[in-house]
Amino acid sequence: MLRPLLKLRGLSLIAFSALAFVQAAAYAELSIEITGAGASRIPVAIADFGGEPGSARAVTSVIRGDLERSGLFKLIDPSGLPMTEETSPAYGDWRSRGADALAAGSISPTGGRQEARFRLYDVNKQTALAGAAFVTSTPMLRAAGHRIADEIYEKLTGERGVFSTRIAYVVRKSAQRYELHIADADGQNAQTALISKEPIISPAWSPDGGRLAYVSFENKKPVIYVHSLASGQRTVVANFKGSNSAPAWSPDGSKLAVVLSKDGGSQIFTVNANGSGAQRVTTTAGISTEPFFAPDGQSIYFTSDRGGSPQIYRSSLYGGDTQRITFEGSYNVSPRISPDGKSMAFISRRDGGFRLAVMDLASRQTQVLTESHKDESPSFAPNGRMILIATELGGRGVLSAVSVDGRIKQRLSIPAGDVREPAWGPFAK
């Protein structure tokens, strides 16, 4: 069942110290439901972690929740087989329960902080696959759980986990209150980066994960800001006459593609990340908007109505060589390119509904992944496996994550409030 695993690694130990941060008050948190699951899931057991029961339970449940939510694992019941990373696994017992992989660990206090240790075993080969220890402050134990889940995910699937990444989204609390939130990828630990009386749209993470570009209407018109999350410092990067919108970072973080109406119409420009050096990219009459850089930074995908209906095009960053990418249907918008550059997520109007679709860029084959009526704002997880979207359920905005094959769907929702404009952040550095 396990895919060919990476080379056997001994138990290596990572210890580090980090600053203890005071956590902002937790707001209403996102909850996650799995509404579908992948066909073949890896059976894995996560033994109850040892150590102080409260901390141990917290870390164990983060790891289990992460793995289960990915849709790639089937969690095996560990009850009656207590163990930690220091115990030799009873491989026979775990095998008879159907586990192909097993993880065990413990939490222990160390100098006012907490150390979370774990080991991962291949039950069939009866070997250790990985192990690590993470030292953290007690309030950040969940982060240690996410790191352990990332290690397990990577060893068992061969691709990087995204459990330690963050997401951004906008909550409309009322007609006079909008909030930009940053949360862990599981929707927990939400913090507020910006409160405004006016709408906030189109948040986009800088490649280093430290800043967000977004459009704010606080000056009664759309203006693009870059906001440093740790300091709260905000820089206006585009406030030209007319509208300023749709920011997208270049892969190296040096530039933003933006949409400006300063010269008439809505046209794509690039600006430096500090707002200087605006250069026009598109010149055709009509609308050009929603730019998104290809991973090589050389071309831009965007939405345009130049052919009479909104469709997706690709153009060289230096103008010219424009190709139309979408042809099926009369409304294809919001292109986002996968991290490997091979596929494109977008929103397509089909049978009257706005639905998430994915195109394989080499074959131009398109798969519609949902049956929604109002999907918006797709963004790829940094490992390319899931796509986060905004959609609507019972008249309320909710967030949903859909696997690129459409088989796994998770719903995230805040009980009170309208959630929209999600953006999945990059890998933790």
Partner 1 sequence: MKQLIIPALIALLVAGCSSTPDGDQGGAPVESRDGKVATVTAGGVDGRNLPRELTDPNSILSKRSVYFDYDKFDIKAEHKDLVAAHAKFLSNNRQFKMLIQGNTDERGSREYNLALGQKRADAVKKALTVLGAREDQIESVSLGEEKPKNTAQNEAGWAENRRGDMLYSGEF
For partner 1, the binding residues in 170-199 under the rule CB under 8 A are: 182, 184, 189, 191-199
- In the list 310, 382, 384, 422, the residue contacting partner 1 (rule: CB under 8 A) is 310
On whether the CB atoms of residues 354 and 371 are closer than 8 A, the answer is no
Closer of 90 and 285 to partner 1 (Cβ):
285
Total residues binding partner 1 (CB under 8 A): 98
- Considering the rule CB under 8 A, would residue 290 count as an interface residue with partner 1? yes
Query: Shortest CA distance to 247 belongs to which of 207, 281, 201, 285?
Result: 201
CA distance 96 to 77: 12
> Interface with partner 1 by CB under 8 A: which range of 54-62, 71-79, 239-247, 402-410?
239-247
Closer of 90 and 195 to partner 1 (Cβ):
195
- Considering the rule CB under 8 A, would residue 231 count as an interface residue with partner 1? yes
| Residues 77/82/84/87 CA torsion (nearest 10 deg) | -120
> Interface with partner 1 by CB under 8 A: which range of 29-37, 58-66, 286-294, 363-371?
286-294
| Rounded least distance, CB 364 to partner 1, Å | 21
Closer of 26 and 342 to partner 1 (Cβ):
26
Binding mask 329-368 for partner 1 (x = CB under 8 A): --x-xx------------x-x----x--------------
- Considering the rule CB under 8 A, would residue 143 count as an interface residue with partner 1? yes
Closer of 177 and 342 to partner 1 (Cβ):
177
> Interface with partner 1 by CB under 8 A: which range of 14-22, 73-81, 275-283, 293-301?
14-22
Q: What is each CA distance from 57 to 47, 94, 235, 348, 360, in whole angstroms?
A: 11, 21, 42, 43, 42
On whether the CB atoms of residues 385 and 404 are closer than 8 A, the answer is yes
- In the list 1, 28, 201, 294, the residue contacting partner 1 (rule: CB under 8 A) is 201
CA distance 350 to 348: 6
| Rounded least distance, CB 413 to partner 1, Å | 19
Which residues in 202-221 contact partner 1 (CB under 8 A)? 202, 209-210, 215-221
| Rounded least distance, CB 130 to partner 1, Å | 8
Query: Shortest CA distance to 203 belongs to which of 268, 260, 249?
Result: 249
- In the list 105, 222, 382, 384, the residue contacting partner 1 (rule: CB under 8 A) is 222
In sequence order, the 6+-apart residues with CB closer than 8 A to the CB of 236 are 223, 224, 225, 275
Phi and psi of 364, rounded to 5°? 65, 15
> Structure tokens of 403?
């696997």
Long-range residue pairs from 52-55, CB within 8 A, at least 24 positions apart, any chain? 52/107, 52/109, 55/107, 55/114, 55/138, 55/141
- In the list 41, 57, 173, 234, the residue contacting partner 1 (rule: CB under 8 A) is 234
Phi and psi of 226, rounded to 5°? -115, 130
